[in-house]
Chain A
Amino acid sequence: MGMLAFFKKKAIFAQKNISNIMAKTEKKKAKNDGYDFSKTDYMFWYETMLLQRRFEEKAGQMYHKQKIRGFCHLYIGQEASASGAVSALRKGDKWITAYRDHGQPLALGTSPNALMAELYAKSTGVSKGKGGSMHLFDKEVGFMGGHGIVGGQVPLGAGIAFAEKYQGTGNVCICYMGDGAVRQGALHEAFNMAMLWKLPVIFVIENNGYAMGTSVERTSNVTELYTLGESYDMPSEKVDAMKVEEVHLAVSRAAERARADEGPTLLEFRTYRYRGHSMSDAAKYRTKDEVEHYKTLDSIESVKNTILEKKYATEADLEALEAKIMQIVEESVEFAENSPYPDPSEAYKDVYVQADYPYTTD
């Protein structure tokens, strides 16, 4: 099954089963703190998280070969934050994030070829080579970027949700930000209005501990970031986002609240990036031990262990799946390598909708 088809099937499943899962989970958690997810869930998580990991490892290699240029921020370590949310939401929901934006579209089913081509600045990229790593967009799956100004996407996410509410669609917007973004004024203005107007938005802080090289503790006296939502009476919770199941459950709860017209939720995902802030970051602000500790909590390993324990698949099955993913990634590189850069005549396109806009040319 292709990634996109898989996602679509999964999305329909998620839509039908949100309340079901919610009810089951409450019961199950009370009993033994275990989870009650299906084989389909685990296989979806494993496949999409591993795709993110292998795709980005390859992107990192290609960056060092100078095939990919500009700023490139890897998501490695944080994959559960994307895959757990994709399984919890449905088609029609909208997605927006900052510039660490490779994970969500991969998990949503955007073509890896078009994503790799965008990193390569090729005309076959999702944004036609005009956005690059920081500005991936895919309208097909509702992925609305890919934004480069820290915190700038937070009011945009509220506005996307505003439009859903205005049009009565029942869709939600999930709006990601890093822990650095919570110190921006834009976030506080957006939180306030999103609560005032009960917008169907799920705000997700991906707290990986560092705003570039500055640790959370060095940016504010308030280090429990989810408590920032409480200033606006916004339901807020902390989520162990190294566990994809927890991500799924938290996003499901938030989505249900949003769809019931009860407004936004703030989720603080506690997560970790294994790599530096961007490709040029040697990450001297943290210890190797710290990084190694988090690797023991790796979300992909954890899902793999569950799959094997529950006998949802054999080692051989998973190896075959990984081989398939490696092939998808290799093909994306080949596709990107063989694609042309945008023709210079493309420069005056896609700036205005007005086709004959009279640019100042001299």
Chain B
Amino acid sequence: MAREIEFREALREAMREEMTRDSRVFLMGEEVAQYDGAYKVSKGLLAEFGEKRIIDTPIAELGFAGIGVGAAMNGLRPIIEFMTFNFSLVAIDQVINSAAKMMSMSGGQYSVPIVFRGPTGNAGMLSSQHSQNFENWFANTSGLKVVVPSNPYDAKGLLKTAIRDEDPVIFMESELMYGDKGEVPEEEYLIPIGVADIKRAGTDITIVSFGKMMKTALTAADELAKEGISAEVIDLRSVRPIDYQAIVNSVKKTNRLVVVEEAWPLAAISSEITYHVQKYAFDYLDAPVHRVNSLDLPLPYAPTLIEAILPNVKRTLEAAKAVLYK
């Protein structure tokens, strides 16, 4: 039985269910407890689970990220919330040098079953320090998994899987998606990490995206349909690992590919996908791969500049038309 709930509620349900299932799971971060979460994702969890398991921290991301990793090495399963991933940069040493390396440098003796979660990317007129995407940064590091859901259904199923995962998972959401509604079943379900989802089937062109840019991709597909162009839209759902096969299979069918991604273009997920497709679907491509990323610039405050820099439907349509030679 499905009902419509908000993205934030889907995340909350995932955490609540996993905390009920496993007493080793706890949530730690800034404003997650008494304040009910900066974006109300953890609303009510303090009342339900108490202060032992829903823990407010001082503003000290490096410290509490490291405390999370230490706790994970020693038998617990922490969920560490970053108020945004922009603030994860002061904690990145613990994510990259500790969480991602522990298994390898201990010869497999110590694993780190931890989830670092929070919103990523632009979220309105917040200027350049609060409007960044580091999905590709984290995806570059072996030892991590990086999940970026695009709707409430995926968010719940993927977060539950991430919490049960034995390896460190970066789980990236968006302030702009927390209020999005979507159908989520009452019954329990899990979604595996690393499996892309065809959100819209099509035959003429493949559009690959993930996270909140999926809305842009799907809206562009609607527009293309009006012109009689059938776009297949693939939601990667995770960018480490990447479901390369799903992309290649689709390109072999449509022969054309556009990648839409909010991050900056240099060394982006779109670059990685483009490399892979030119190597493994070269003979199937009828046009060069195009991509739509944010422009290679910090994101300023003014709305006109934001409009000029972020990927949008218009630029996605232009890219689609270019690969379709229309």
Residues of A within 8 A of B (CB): 94, 96, 125-131, 135, 137-139, 144-149, 152, 154-164, 166-167, 173, 185-186, 188-190, 192-193, 196, 349-354, 357-360, 362
Residues in B whose Cβ lies below 8 Å from that of A94: 74
Give the CA-CA distance A158 to B102 in the complex, in Å: 16
Instruction: Tally inter-chain residue pairs, CB-CB below 8 A.
Output: 163
A155 touches B58 (CB 8 A): no
What 1/0 mask marks residues of chain B from 63 to 78 whose CB sits below 8 Å from any chain A CB?
1111111111111100
Cβ contact within 8 Å between A162 and B71: yes
Give the shortest distance, in Å, between B186 (CB) and chain A (any CB). 29
CB nearest neighbor in A for B78: A159
Q: Is the CB of A128 within 8 A of B107?
A: yes
Report if B37 contacts A (CB, 8 A). Answer: no
Determine the distance from Cα of A347 to Cα of B149 in the docked complex, in whole angstroms: 31
Which residues of A are found within 8 Å of B58, using beta-carbon distances?
A: 189, 192-193, 196
Which listed segment binds A: B6-14, B93-101, B125-133? B93-101
**A126-B107, A127-B106 are contacts. A354–B167 as well, Cβ < 8 Å?**
yes
Q: Which of A154, A349, A354, A360 is close to B108, meaning CB atoms less than 8 Å apart?
A: A349
Assembly CA distance A136 to B38 (angstroms): 40
Partner of A159, one of B67, B93, B108, B166: B67
Q: What separation, in Å, do the CA atoms of A352 and B97 have in the docked complex?
A: 15
B107 engages A158 (CB within 8 Å): no
Contact B142 A351 (CB under 8 A): yes
Contact residue among B70, B107, B113 (Cβ-Cβ distance under 8 Å from A155):
B70
Question: 23 A–B contact pairs at CB < 8 A?
Answer: A127-B105, A135-B105, A137-B105, A137-B110, A138-B109, A145-B102, A148-B97, A155-B62, A156-B69, A158-B63, A160-B70, A160-B74, A162-B67, A167-B76, A186-B66, A189-B63, A189-B66, A190-B63, A193-B67, A350-B104, A350-B108, A353-B167, A362-B276
Q: Once the chains bind, are B166 and A166 in contact (CB under 8 Å)?
A: no
CB-nearest residue of chain A relative to B275? A362
B60 close to A (CB within 8 Å): yes
Cβ of B66 and Cβ of A190 under 8 Å apart?
yes
Q: Which chain B residues border A161 with CB–CB below 8 Å?
A: 70
Q: Determine the chain A residues whose CB is within 8 A of the CB of B167 once the complex forms.
A: 352-354, 357
For residue B62, which residues in chain A have a CB less than 8 angstroms away from its CB?
A: 155, 185-186, 189
Task: Name the contact of A163 in the complex, choosing from B64, B71, B109, B272 (C-beta under 8 A).
Answer: B71
Asked whether B241 is an interface residue with its Cβ less than 8 Å from the other chain, the reply is yes
Interface string of B160-203 (1 = CB under 8 A from A): 00000111000000000000000000000000001000000000
Q: Are A137 and B64 in contact (CB under 8 A)?
A: no
B319 at the binding interface (Cβ < 8 Å): no
With a cutoff of 8 Å between Cβ atoms, the chain B residues found around residue A354 in the complex are 165-167
Number of interface residues of B (CB under 8 A): 46
Task: Report the minimal beta-carbon distance from B100 to chain A, rounded to whole angstroms.
Answer: 9
Least Cβ–Cβ distance between A72 and chain B, in angstroms: 16
CA distance A155 to B94 in the complex (A): 9
* In the complex, residue of chain A having the shortest beta-carbon distance to the beta carbon of B61: A189
B142-A154 in contact (CB<8A)? no
Please give the distance in Å from B18's CB to the nearest CB on chain A.
Answer: 16
Q: Does B138 contact A (CB under 8 A)?
A: no
Across-interface contacts of B67 in A (CB, < 8 A): 155-156, 158-159, 162, 190, 193
B268 interface contact, C-beta 8 A:
no
Could you tell me the distance in whole angstroms from the C-beta of B37 to the nearest C-beta in chain A? 19
Top 4 nearest A-B pairs by Cβ distance?
A159-B70, A155-B66, A189-B63, A128-B107
B106 touches A163 (CB 8 A): no
Query: Does B281 lie at the interface of the complex (its beta carbon under 8 Å from any beta carbon of A)?
Result: no
Give bound CA distance, A192 to B97, whole Å: 22
CB distance B105 to A144 under 8 Å? no
Please provide the chain B residues from 129 to 150 with a CB less than 8 Å away from any CB of chain A in the complex: 142-143
Asked if A352 and B143 sit within 8 Å, CB to CB, the answer is: yes
Chain A residue contacts of B214, Cβ below 8 A: none
Q: Residues of A contacting B68 with CB < 8 Å?
A: 159
Residues of chain A within 8 A (CB-CB) of B93 are 149, 152, 186
| Residue on B nearest A114 in the bound complex, by CB | B107
- Which of A96, A130, A138, A196 has a CB less than 8 Å from the CB of B104? A130
Q: A145-B110, A146-B105 are in contact. Are A193 and B98 (CB under 8 A)?
A: no
| Most chain A CB inside 10 Å of its own CB: which residue of B71, B72, B105 | B105
A196 to B167 CA separation, bound complex (whole angstroms):
29
Q: Report how far A353 CA is from B71 CA in the complex, Å.
A: 17
Residues of B within 8 A of A96 (CB): 70
By the criterion CB–CB under 8 Å, are B98 and A156 in contact?
Answer: yes
List of A residues within 8 angstroms of B64 by Cβ: 155, 189, 193
